[in-house]
Amino acid sequence: MASRSLREIPGGVLATLLGIPKSIALGIVALAPLGSAFTAVGPFAGLVSLAAGNFATPSRRGGSVVNSGPYSVSALMLASAATTFSLTHPPDVAFQLLLLVVLLSGVIQLLLGLLRFGTIAKYIPYPVFSGLMNGSAILILLPQVKPIFNATPALLLKDPSVLLSQTTLLSVAAATLTVLAYALTRRLNRSAVPPAFIAVIVGSLGFHAAAYLGSISVSELLVGRIPTGIPLPRLFASASEDLLSLQTWQTLALPVASFATSIALINSLSSFLAQSFSDTLCRERTDPNAELLNQGSANLLSAVFGGLPAAGSSSRSKAAYDYGARTRASRLAGGLFAVLVLVWAGPLFAPIPLSVMGGVLLILAYGLFDRWLLLQIVELMKQRDRREIATNIGISLLVTVVMVAVGMVEAVVTGVLLSVVIFVTTMSRGIIRREFSGLSMRSNTERPRRETDILDREGDAIRIIELEGYLYFGTADDFLLRTDVLLREGARHIILDVHHLKSVDISGLVVVDQAYERCRDAGARLAIVSPVRSPLREKSQLSGLVYDYLDDALAAAEDLLIDSAGESEHDTSITLAEVDILSEFTPAELAQLEPYLTFQSYADGTKVLTEGEAGDSVFMIAAGRAELYTTTDGLYHCYYRLSRGTVFGEMAMIDGRPRSADVLAAGTLSCWVLTMERLNRLKQEHPDVAYRVMTGVAALLSRRIRINLNIISQYRK
């Protein structure tokens, strides 16, 4: 156990190392509105967040390799809060208010986790999230004008000659060198050192070398001294009477709560994405509520020690896994490493130029721009039905504009309102995705011609209804009304495919009960095709009527339809002349063929053929049914059925390759068997008969291809 925990250390440490440049940069961004006095406090706050985000993981049921730290969107929200608070309060008080926002966001996350609301942030539609990311990218880009050009945009417009000063040229060159070093390192670097670290080192060395050669004073252009030593509590460390007064809180309660709620939701969504990455990589399913408890605890700890809000990072979580992390120990290792950096590494960051950190933020902003929006714009030009794509683009752009032009909280509120509208619209859509008739869709069951004729005549009595979306009181009535119409039209078998349903509430279950009773009263049969975990499987009256696969339900309905026509005689043996591939043979040809065949019977469940074994025989079914089985997504299931008069194992005649599936007897199975050795003898002794057999097999394969193409075309509609 100890050795395994030691193997986790490199993954956690390297993932945290990857987050250090971003943490320092986001700390500078978040506290920039508080003035130059907090320039060095910003990197410290970012590193505290990185440490707390990985160290505070009380729940073992959260994501195993989630690496947490400052998140760009929530850091910008904190910067927006800093701007708001600094308008009416001195910087020290505004900083305490920011820590209170971080603390409250952690409390909200803890409450959401304890109340089992861990998935609430997942209901934010992706276009809203895309708009927030793009808005964040723009808001990160705009403030970098000052550290890179050493002047505000207003001053640059008023006096462009500022661009020609030595310090400006030096800063621009350092930022450019940082970006180029990052791009080149990312393309060529194969070491464990993060490209951002190499870019910061190259940019800083270039900056100081040029400053030395040009005798340029740069003390005002550096990050400066970062506090070092064991972190001490900073929340309310300098509480003033102004901060504690009732009048202050009458005006600040709403802004603090709104900023905290927005940060809690956005950080939760980022953490859920990181948790999803972690679960996929580690092949596990962890609890989102437990991860919320971890993230909430991290934000409480970060606030107490003066840090930014923390959230899970998908990219660093993947990096942790790639470097060997597999368990929660990697998170603790990363947190401990960040604490060591806080205690001893502060002097190493002091000489970093602000323009280099500006270059890092340019890289971060570029990475934040959501490529999904560009893909949607491209798709808009291609698709015929453009309404949904145009709506997604419009929502994303609206959230971005509100975020940049109005404010962060307003953008989140706009996003939440749009989420509600989208949710209500989605819930109100028609529940019926599409509908098929048994005439146009058949099961993967190969039947004798007589049974196929029955399905051709009466297949419309089988109806397949696919549902999608949400089956609840607002949509369930559509399904019930459609069931009534189908029963009036003579449907005797209604198959309900609910694989595409996202949710079923109690009213939806009641409506399914009503549909079952109406079918029963009309002498019809209702079958359900559903996922294993569907609540519909718990309905006792549907016992025996719920299937894992649509093909199974369809085959059962077809069998019952054929039985009701009095034509089903699976257990009665047919003659050799009734075998499909031999139906055109003359009696003389059958007489010549029969001595080369052996007649064999198999009990129910007997494995006649095994996947992977050598193919040396062809089987012609005289009585009973055979079923072909294979393993898909870890599940062993039947995907094809063969009735009397049909053939299996025929591919051995063509390519001689190993069997592609298991074949099991479904009931007592009787077959004529033609081995390859006897077929070769038949070719020598009766070549015309052997040729007729091969021609029959070719016709059989052609017919199967047509059937499968028809099935595929139905699913593609």
Mean pLDDT of 539-559: 81
Contacts with 644 (C-beta within 8 Å, 6 or more apart), sequence order: 448, 569, 570, 572, 573, 574, 578, 621, 622, 623, 624, 625
Nearest to 88, CA basis, from 193, 243, 192, 231: 243
Lowest mean pLDDT, pick from 76-80, 262-266, 582-586, 703-707 = 703-707
Dihedral, 568, 571, 576, 581 alpha carbons, nearest 10: 60
Q: CB–CB of 206/175 below 8 Å? A: no
Q: CB–CB of 76/29 below 8 Å? A: yes
pLDDT class of 697 with cuts at 50, 70, 90: confident
Q: CB–CB of 451/569 below 8 Å? A: no
Check whether 1 has a pLDDT greater than 50: no
pLDDT class of 683 with cuts at 50, 70, 90: very high
| HSE-up of residue 623 (Cα within 13 Å, Cβ side) | 15
Check whether 361 has a pLDDT greater than 80: yes
Q: What Å distances lie between residue 323 and 18, 314, 319, 619, CA to CA?
A: 12, 14, 6, 53
| HSE-up of residue 448 (Cα within 13 Å, Cβ side) | 25
Q: At 544, phi and psi to the nearest 5?
A: 85, -5
Q: CB–CB of 626/619 below 8 Å? A: yes
Check whether 524 has a pLDDT greater than 70: yes
Contacts with 523 (C-beta within 8 Å, 6 or more apart), sequence order: 492
Q: How far apart are CA 352 and CA 201, in angstroms?
A: 8
Residues of the chain within CATH 3.30.750.24 domain(s) are 433-564
712, exposed or middle or buried, with CB in 10 Å at 0-12, 13-18, 19+? Answer: exposed
Q: How far apart are CA 492 and CA 481, in angstroms?
A: 16
Side-by-side strand order, sheet with 546-547: 432-437, 462-471, 493-504, 525-529, 546-547
Nearest to 649, CA basis, from 685, 682, 680, 611: 611
Q: State residue 294's pLDDT score.
A: 93
Q: How far apart are CA 56 and CA 592, in angstroms?
A: 82
Nearest to 357, CA basis, from 132, 42, 82, 54: 42
| HSE-up of residue 207 (Cα within 13 Å, Cβ side) | 29
Output the six-digit token pair for 487.
């029963």
Q: CB–CB of 598/620 below 8 Å? A: no
Nearest to 475, CA basis, from 444, 511, 439: 511
pLDDT class of 102 with cuts at 50, 70, 90: very high
Check whether 120 has a pLDDT greater than 70: no
Output the six-digit token pair for 424.
């209500």
Output the six-digit token pair for 619.
């089987």
Q: What is the 3-state secondary structure (H, E, C) of 607-619?
A: EEECCCCCCCEEE
Q: CB–CB of 701/581 below 8 Å? A: no
Q: At 609, phi and psi to the nearest 5?
A: -125, 150
State which H helix or E strand residue 149 sits in: helix 145-149
Q: Which residues of 336-348 are buried (b: 16+ CB within 10 A; e: fewer)?
A: bbbbebbeeebee
Helix and strand numbers, DSSP H then E, in the chain: 27, 14
Lowest mean pLDDT, pick from 24-28, 85-89, 476-480, 517-521 = 476-480
SS3 352: coil
pLDDT class of 302 with cuts at 50, 70, 90: very high
pLDDT class of 5 with cuts at 50, 70, 90: low
Q: How far apart are CA 131 and CA 245, in angstroms?
A: 38
Residues of the chain within CATH 2.60.120.10 domain(s) are 576-716
Question: Considering the entire predicted model, what is its pTM?
Answer: 0.59
Lowest mean pLDDT, pick from 405-414, 430-439, 670-679 = 405-414
Q: Looking at domain 576-716, what is its CATH homologous superfamily?
A: Jelly Rolls (2.60.120.10)
Cα 17 from chain centre? 27
Q: CB–CB of 492/522 below 8 Å? A: no
Q: State residue 421's pLDDT score.
A: 79
Contacts with 2 (C-beta within 8 Å, 6 or more apart), sequence order: none
Q: State residue 30's pLDDT score.
A: 93
The residues with which 628 forms a beta bridge, in sequence order, are 640, 663
pLDDT class of 181 with cuts at 50, 70, 90: very high
Check whether 411 has a pLDDT greater than 90: no
Q: How far apart are CA 142 and CA 146, in angstroms?
A: 9
- The answer to whether the Cα torsion of 80, 84, 90, 96 is positive or negative is negative
Check whether 51 has a pLDDT greater than 80: yes
Q: CB–CB of 485/544 below 8 Å? A: no
For residue 255, count other CB atoms closer than 10 A to its CB. 16
Q: State residue 531's pLDDT score.
A: 80
Q: CB–CB of 75/105 below 8 Å? A: no
Check whether 325 has a pLDDT greater than 90: no
Mean pLDDT of 584-588: 90
Q: Which one-letter DSSP state was computed for residue 353? A: B
For the chain, the first-to-last Cα distance in angstroms comes to 54
SS3 239: coil
Q: How far apart are CA 365 and CA 551, in angstroms?
A: 49
Taking domain 433-564, whether its CATH number is 3.30.1490.20 is answered by no
- The answer to whether the Cα torsion of 466, 468, 471, 473 is positive or negative is negative
Each residue's pLDDT tens digit, 386-395: 777 888 888 8
